[in-house]
Amino acid sequence: MEEKQYLVDALNREESWRVFRIMAEFVDAIEELSEVSHAVSIFGSARVLPGDKYYREAEALAGLLAENGFSVITGGGPGLMEAANKGAAEGGGKSVGMNIRLPFEQTPNPYANISIDYKYFFIRKVMFVKYAMAYVILPGGFGTMDELFEALTLIQTRRIRSFPVVLMGSDFWGGLITWMKDTMLSSGKISPEDLDLFAVIDDPVDIVKHIRKYVIL
């Protein structure tokens, strides 16, 4: 019984210390991002290689955003995150990479001039929302979908102020949007106005124009 109680007490102490580690990660992130303003968070697959059309478009978009006075925030990894960080850095802007420690895929790219390393996914997600004035979602996998629907849910439920959410790549997103209309909307799971929470825009110039309609620099 004494050994069992000792193990229980040890686990409780570990949980208590985890709270302080979480607080420390929040504090570090807020301090690192305190000078980042007018930021656009760009999300997309880590599996896209240089030369892919979406890599080129992400790089071009981030460069345009930087030239128009925006900072760019990404997940800090390879693929489309690398492309966006590269475009922002070469465009002379703040290029923020918020890297998450994973056993695969997530190696920090070299183009972030502000780099933050996270252990906890949920802290990283809070920082994406807290410092972004817009989201641009390029083709990606589960993580990209997670960020998209997290933002739409928070805006839909008015837990955060509404901001532009842009889906870039109509050929990739078309099937999902059709399903949302034909299945989610038609069965009453979402409202018609929920489909207005995002826009589908392919051209980087048009995306910047769309964001600037809602964001005053």
Block residue for tokens 């991002």: 33
Domain assignment present for residue 101? The answer is yes
Are 141 and 43 spatial neighbours (Cβ–Cβ below 8 Å)? no
pLDDT digit string, tens, across residues 33-49: 998 999 999 999 999 99
Domain assignment present for residue 195? The answer is yes
pLDDT bin (cut points 50, 70, 90) of residue 194 is very high
pTM of the model: 0.89
Tokens of 93: 């802007």
Are 139 and 147 spatial neighbours (Cβ–Cβ below 8 Å)? no
Q: What is the pLDDT of residue 104?
A: 64
Domain assignment present for residue 160? The answer is yes
Specify the number of domains making up the chain: 1
Phi-psi region of 69 (alpha: psi -120 to 50; beta: other; left: phi over 0): left
pLDDT digit string, tens, across residues 127-145: 999 999 999 999 999 999 9
Q: Helix, strand or coil for residue 86? A: helix
pLDDT bin (cut points 50, 70, 90) of residue 14 is confident
CATH number, domain at 143? Answer: 3.40.50.450
What percentage of the chain exceeds 70 in pLDDT? 92
Are 7 and 101 spatial neighbours (Cβ–Cβ below 8 Å)? no
The residues, ordered by sequence, that sit 6+ positions from 153 with a Cβ below 8 Å of its Cβ are 159
Domain assignment present for residue 165? The answer is yes
Are 51 and 198 spatial neighbours (Cβ–Cβ below 8 Å)? no
Q: What is the pLDDT of residue 72?
A: 98
Q: What is the pLDDT of residue 215?
A: 82
Q: How many CB atoms lie within 10 A of CB 194?
A: 15
Poorest-pLDDT segment among 10-14, 15-19, 59-63, 204-208: 10-14
Tokens of 65: 């955003």
pLDDT bin (cut points 50, 70, 90) of residue 217 is confident
Domain assignment present for residue 11? The answer is no
Domain assignment present for residue 28? The answer is no
Q: What is the pLDDT of residue 88?
A: 98
pLDDT bin (cut points 50, 70, 90) of residue 102 is confident
Q: Determine the Cα–Cα distance for residues 174 and 167; give it in Å rounded to an integer.
A: 10
Domain assignment present for residue 99? The answer is yes
Domain assignment present for residue 105? The answer is yes
Q: What is the pLDDT of residue 8?
A: 47
Nearest to 136 by CA among 88, 190, 102: 88
Q: Determine the Cα–Cα distance for residues 156 and 196; give it in Å rounded to an integer.
A: 10
Q: What is the pLDDT of residue 216?
A: 74
What is the distance of C-alpha 67 from the center of its chain? Answer: 20
Q: Determine the Cα–Cα distance for residues 44 and 87; give it in Å rounded to an integer.
A: 14
Q: What is the pLDDT of residue 18?
A: 86
Nearest to 140 by CA among 211, 58, 201: 58
Q: What is the pLDDT of residue 127?
A: 95
How much is the mean pLDDT over the chain?
Answer: 92
Mean pLDDT, residues 108-113 taken together? 94
Give me the domain span that covers residue 103: 36-214
